[in-house]
Structure 1
Amino acid sequence: MTVESKRIPPWYKQFWPWFLLGLLLSSIAVSTTYLVLSITTFDGMVEDNYYKRGLAINEVIEQDEHAARLGLRADLRIDDLTGDMTLDLSGEQRPERLYLALIFPTQGDRDLDLVLEHVRDGRYVGQVPRQLQHRWYMQLRPTQQAPAWRLTAEARLPTREAIALTPATQKDN
């Protein structure tokens, strides 16, 4: 009876060492990719000063109630070809200038602050710098800092219909 010695190939010619090294290298590559992405991309949804923002909710509620007491309501039309905005404000107050904040829900760098100038009898005009698409939140205020009232709306743009801006307290009912 002869025993033949089975020839074992060197380690670099076998399957399992390369399989285990491949798993290790792929996990390092994926981990490095996620690390770089987490460092370089900004998560705009995280509120860094949530306590101060929570205290300010009473001011926001007061602004909405004040707008409701004044009977304020606005209809906004945006021409998606030219970017012209026309706003008709009804109610007791008609300041010379209105400030419209267009807020994109998920990306803070797309937010816009626009100025609308009074032309006559509660009509205001302004200009949008670019064509708007997708869903937007809107806040209309008489001043930029510490406004006395505000009107809000949510709209999917572009639209041919007028966007109704009302006090937020009226939307809850």
Structure 2
Amino acid sequence: MQMNTTRATSAAKARPWYTHRWPWLLMLGPALVVIAGIHTTWIAFTRQDALVVDDYYKEGKAINQDLRRDRIASDMGLHASLRYDAAAGKLSGSVLGLGESASGRLSIKLVHSTQPEKDISLLVQPDGGGTFEASLAMLDMARWQVLIESEQRDWRLHQTWNWPQQRSIQIAAETSR
């Protein structure tokens, strides 16, 4: 009996390493890490990072200018309402301030939260009552940053819009502090 056991273990030892399952199982982990690293490197080099601003200093200085525009909108008592009708493909709304409509053309920007190529810019002319309507293709389900400003860019209103959870939004200028 001793002889059969010795023969079986010596036969197992005589098999080459690649015929055993354990070396392959142990090499699987590092091999997957190498493959994942190659894939991550490929993604990093083929996709542009759209969230990084080239001139961060200039952008930082512009924040103060934007805050002035918010204060002007607040002093004017501006508020807006927007509603999107997906079936008709229409964005409608109004911009009013201290009981009167905003005059002149308005710029409405819908900024996609992660994909800048999906950003939308509209130029609308409100009627005498401050209401407007614009054609708008189907909006993606996303969290949009809405920016409404005068054509001269002297004031602005902004807010986040979760489409389609929110069918309409109300935007009010923040009060001065």
TM norm. shorter chain > 0.5: yes
- The residue aligned with 1:112 is 120
> Is residue 157 of structure 2 the alignment partner of residue 137 of structure 1?
no
- The residue aligned with 1:67 is 73
CA distance in 2, matches of 1:48, 1:12: 52
Number of residue equivalences: 168
CA distance in 1, matches of 2:123, 2:93: 11
- The residue aligned with 2:87 is 81
- Counterpart code for 2:44: S
- The residue aligned with 2:135 is 127
CA distance in 1, matches of 2:28, 2:92: 62
- Counterpart code for 1:133: M
- Counterpart code for 1:35: T
Which secondary structure does the structure 1 equivalent of 2:73 belong to? Answer: helix
Distance 1:119 1:159, change over 3 A: farther
- The residue aligned with 2:33 is 27
Deviation at 1:21, TM superposition (A): 4.4
TM-score (norm 2): 0.78
CA distance in 2, matches of 1:109, 1:49: 20
CA distance in 2, matches of 1:161, 1:106: 21
- The residue aligned with 2:55 is 49
Deviation at 1:148, TM superposition (A): 0.3
Question: Conserved in 2, the CA contact under 8 Å of 1:77 and 1:160?
Answer: no
In the alignment, structure 1 segments of 5+ residues that lack a partner are: none
- The residue aligned with 1:95 is 103
- Counterpart code for 1:100: I
TM-score (norm 1): 0.79
Deviations 1:21-45 (A, max 9, x none): 4444333222211111222233333
In the alignment, structure 2 segments of 5+ residues that lack a partner are: none
Deviations 1:124-162 (A, max 9, x none): 22121223423221110112xx61000112222236764
- Structure with larger Rg: 2
- Taking the TM superposition and a 5 Å limit, the aligned residue runs for 1:1-20 are 6-7=10-11, 8-20=14-26
CA RMSD of aligned residues (A): 2.8
- Counterpart code for 2:162: R
Identity fraction in percent: 26
- Counterpart code for 2:63: I
